[in-house]
Copies of this chain bind each other. A is one copy, B any other.
């Protein structure tokens, strides 16, 4: 039986059998208490052991933190204690004794230290909570799209295109790249994908509504708390949909996910709210309960220019918004999530749909309090001639994008999509400040622990 099940369906006097790892142990000569965790729940189970009820009491009472045991016993209610019940052990089978140099002794460890032991850190309260929430969010994303009829597409990780345009790419060889035996396995240069969007569009033109959810890569030299070389992205794409439907989907998805964790991960969120970020619950509830503001870039620039505040980066129509601007809009002006739409075409990607004014494109960024941008999307340029013209302006080769142009040749239609950085979402929902602490094995420049 898992400890999470006990907390859901607890019956006094039940005969119960659980297995897990010892978090703490306090024993006297005749009785003692074990806090047992089995990873199914943030909560531990308190085990009571007594000398006259356990054959191996003296051995059990000396077990070290981190040891694994299987326990049988009876569940008893404890109305006066802080835990609702405890397990009176009638049998404790020792599975594995933890060596005395176990690095996770009972004390608080810094996140920096925990990063040096990625294989053990999921056993701590904080990282266990993070990775449980990460898993819930991923499962909820699949559930959301499944319930809404979106087809899940595994776009390729290895790509022959070096022109996705979203950043520097990793290159692949078979065999040691420093040796003469290295081979271009595919007969031509191969890289790791930076986005599944272009292939996602192919599938949206067949299935209507699709999403990708997989790893993407950047070989960029940025050693910050918000960048990793390997991270997961969610990229929905909808045919017969424009910017409005794109925003509707983004808002609905974010609210669904946040409500989901608010109801399913109470213990974890309360922990984060107490120990990581005191405003977390307030912020999440704010997002869940309010409709998002929708303004154009031009309106945003006016608000920023009228601000009483001094920005490090001065604001003029045409600049790319910086995090300070984004946070001012969402935290100080509107105090809730904000969609900013219709950016100048010169600061956005070639595939975004040109607006009738000839100078802005149907792009959208979603800004949230506490973070800034969390989602970036657009309506895609579906008009062949407009797209070709834009590509020529930017010096992009039609040869390289033949397939992408094919979509506009054969039954093109209005379509739109966005990208949600999954780790950014996990950081937002947990309040964690460093991307290294929300990825099981973070991949950062010069760091491959």
Residues of B contacting A214 with CB < 8 Å?
A: 214-215
Residue in B4, B146, B187 whose beta carbon sits within 8 Å of that of A447 in the complex: B187
Which stretch from A74-82, A147-155, A341-349 is at the chain B interface? A147-155
**Cα–Cα distance between A102 and B177 once the two chains are bound (Å):** 42
How many chain A residues have a CB neighbour from B under 8 Å? 100
A69-99 at interface with B (beta carbon < 8 Å): 70, 95-99
Instruction: Assess the A119–B407 pair: CB atoms within 8 A.
Output: yes
> Does A356 sit at the interface, judged by CB under 8 A?
no
Contact with B along A428-449 (1 / 0, CB 8 A): 0000000000011101011111
Q: Does A412 make an interface contact (CB < 8 A)?
A: yes
Q: Mark A36-68, 1 if CB is under 8 A from B, else 0.
A: 001110000000000000000000000000111
> Is A448 a contact partner of B413 (Cβ separation < 8 A)?
no
Instruction: Give A222 Cβ to nearest chain B Cβ, in Å.
Output: 12
Distance between Cα atoms of A92 and B425 in the complex (Å): 41
Q: Is A370 part of the binding interface, using a Cβ–Cβ cutoff of 8 Å?
A: no
B contact residues around A123 at 8 Å (CB) = 205-206
Which residues of the partner chain B approach A441 to less than 8 Å between Cβ atoms?
A: 155-156, 199
A120 part of interface (Cβ distance < 8 Å): yes
Q: Which B residues are CB-close (under 8 A) to A139?
A: 142-143, 145-146, 152
List of B residues within 8 angstroms of A154 by Cβ: 134, 138, 215, 232, 439-440
Q: Are B68 and A411 in contact (CB under 8 A)?
A: yes
Residues of B within 8 A of A19 (CB): 208, 239-240, 413
Residue of B98, B143, B160, B445 touching A143 (CB-CB under 8 A): B143
Q: Are B171 and A151 in contact (CB-based, < 8 A)?
A: no
**15 CB-based A-B contacts, threshold 8 Å:** A38-B208, A39-B207, A66-B411, A95-B412, A97-B411, A98-B411, A120-B406, A122-B207, A135-B153, A155-B441, A170-B185, A171-B174, A186-B229, A187-B446, A203-B440
Whether, in the assembled complex, A173 has its beta carbon less than 8 Å from a beta carbon of chain B, the answer is yes
Tell which of B2, B160, B203, B443 touches A448, judged by Cβ atoms closer than 8 Å. Answer: B160
Q: Which residues of A375-389 have CB atoms within 8 Å of chain B's CB atoms? A: 382
Question: Is A168's beta carbon under 8 Å from chain B?
Answer: yes
Besides A39-B207, A174-B219, 14 other A-B contacts (C-beta < 8 A):
A19-B208, A39-B206, A67-B411, A96-B382, A123-B206, A154-B232, A156-B443, A158-B170, A171-B176, A171-B182, A177-B182, A185-B219, A199-B441, A214-B215
CB proximity to B under 8 Å, residues A172-188: 172-177, 182, 185-188
- State the copy count for this chain: 2
A99-127 vs B: 1/0 string, CB under 8 Å?
A: 10010000000000000001110110000
Whether the pair B119, A158 counts as a contact (CB closer than 8 A) is: no
| Contacts known (A99-B410, A187-B446, A445-B186); A151 close to B174, Cβ less than 8 A | no
Expressed in whole angstroms, the minimum distance between the Cβ of A189 and any Cβ of chain B is: 7
A353 nearest CB across to chain B (Å): 14
Contacts of A120 in B (CB 8 A): 202, 206, 406, 410
A278 at the interface (CB under 8 A from B): no
Measured between beta carbons, the chain B residues less than 8 angstroms from A135 are: 151-153
Decide yes or no whether A131 CB sits under 8 A from chain B. yes
Q: B residues within 8 A CB of A229?
A: 158, 185-186
Instruction: Mark interface residues in A370-412 (1 if CB within 8 Å of B CB, else 0).
Output: 0000000000001000000000000000000001001111111
CB nearest to A212 among chain B residues: B440
